[in-house]
Structure 1
Amino acid sequence: MDAFASILSAEMAKKKPTTKPAGATASEKSAPKDEATTTSKYLRRADIEKARQEQYRAEQARLEAERAERALKKRKAEEEAAAERERVLEKRQRLREEKQRAAQEAEAARRAQETAAASTPDDDAKDSLAPVEQMDEATAIQKLRDLHEPITLFGETHAQRLRRIHKLTHGGSSSPGTPRRTPSPPPLSGGELLVDPKNVTSDPAYVRRQLLGWFQLVISEWQIMLAGRDDELKESYQGKLATQAMTQAIENLQPLFRHLKKGDLDEEIFAKIAELVIEAQARRYVRANDVYLRLSIGNAAWPIGVTMVGIHERSAREKLHEKGKSAHIMSDEATRKYLQSIKRCLNFAQTRWPPEDPMQIMG
């Protein structure tokens, strides 16, 4: 019994907690608890959420820094590209101004040579020019009107006007033994280009000069319009097509210009072109287009739209094969080309000088 009691006492002593001395501090009491907490295998959800938020903020700060760096690089690249474009534009402008200056100097030199050559006529020319130099301004203007010439040119003085009258009436000064050639009259300008329908039959030579001047005016305005475009538009596909169309139209109009200068244009074509120009100058472009259709298609348009049976068909065939009338005026290749170029000039004139009546806009 004593042995059993001793063993039981020993076991109970093991199970009994050890008491700490009264002087122990609070930190020593809480030490085992903190140690147990740090060695625990479980984490609090608040700690996990806090760590995730800190990681998210760090990632956003890094992305913002990278974004700011890329924006800075892009802004620097755009500034450099803009500066480069500005330098290129300045260089092009400088080259253009140099070319214009060189052309103006060459033109001034040429005019100076012509003035010097014209201001030193020989003795025979001086004798023949003497009556003209005594002409006053009113007489000179009336003389030019009688010659169907412009009364004054741009920047022309009275002495130059008298010299022009002398050249028109005497063929200019020439050296002995040199055959005199009648100079071509100067082109018309301004209000002198307006064609009067009465002059088509009464004064066809003057109307031919008016037609030639009007087509040259349209071409010059066309060239100015295309030259004023941006370089980017000029180098585009549509810009190159527009330039090519203008160049082709100018080239195809040369036979018409030669016929107008020589005065050997077909009477029917001349009358229709004069009517077309009259309508275009009045900004009646729909009527001008109708005249162009009658001019280009001719009598070949007669069978279109009629019932091709019986007398209608026979009448159409008789119209087409009637002697003295062309069934198709565009059978000639050169004529076909300059008539198409006239249509292109008409289209440009509609955009350059738009009609007041919207119903006169061609489709």
Structure 2
Amino acid sequence: MDFLKAEIERKKRQLQEKNIFPPNKKYFKRGDLMKKNQEDYHNRNNPTLDSSDDKEKCEEKVEVLNSEPENFKKEEIQLLRKDVIRRLRDRGEPVRLFGETDYESYQRLKRLETLEPDVNKGQGFQNDFKAALDKVDQEYLNELIKTTDGAVQSNDVSVKDDGTTLEDIEKMKKELGEIDRDRDQEIVLRFLKYILKLWGEELNSRPEEQKRTEKGKMSSATHTQTVVYLKPLFRKLKQRKVEEDILESMVDIVKNMMDRDYIKANDAYLEMAIGNAPWPIGVTMVGIHARTGREKISSRYVAHVLNDETQRKYIQALKRLMTQCQHFFSTAPSRSVNYESIK
């Protein structure tokens, strides 16, 4: 009890020393006590400055921080706003940060280009179809530069003739799939090149006015792109290094194309491209029985179009040649794919 009484007396003396009691009153407000404590704290830590001086000093500091040097001059924006937006989007950066002005956005782009100048070079997918269109336009431009009188007719696609004729195709049809895989690869190579040659000759036989139209340029660009896509496949066929499962499917496709049965050729193509399994990517653990799934990972069950980008491209180009083959060697509608659109 003595300790409690002593503590009460000490608190009373502190309140009397602070002089916070109003006149003729025995109570005080808590806000007055807190204000008095703040003043005491301020006097202990800054005995030479009063509150007004502190306020003025803080305001001066804020003005200095917010002001710019006298010799500072904003750099003029060298790019249009739409170009700044495009470059930022190419780098995967936000077009505008919160509270950011056009000038600050431009400065941020400059910093990014300085720190990471080659961030997008050689990366990502390229628009190869646009590159093919640009190549066609460039060939037209070069042709106009070389021939001012228009005497020489320009061919917008390159055509390579290995001497294969329709009679040779009829003979090779009997040998396909009957001798060995080296001979099969040779026949497939010659047949695909023959269809590619017919396609190029048809494009080059168009009138010059038709070649220069948008549709004509698109057709030429598609042919140019197909030639590029087929180069890896042709290289493998020449070297006799095509994978066994893919060669088996391609032999079925070419054989049906030679027989002008484009429905079966299309079925064989789909079987090679995406497979006929419910899990074409090669999922093996779809249930409690994993063995059955593993045994079905082969050419007939795996989607080859999903393997890599190069394979996807020449498989896509092969489909274009199938369409052109049906165009050149038409057959009954019951054996054709999309007969009305091809016709």
Q: TM range, normalised to the smaller chain?
A: 0.3 to 0.5
The TM-score with structure 1 as length reference comes to 0.44
Greater Rg, structure 1 or structure 2?
A: 1
Query: Between Structure 1 and Structure 2, which shows a larger proportion of helix residues?
Result: 1
**What's the TM-score, normalizing by structure 2?**
0.46
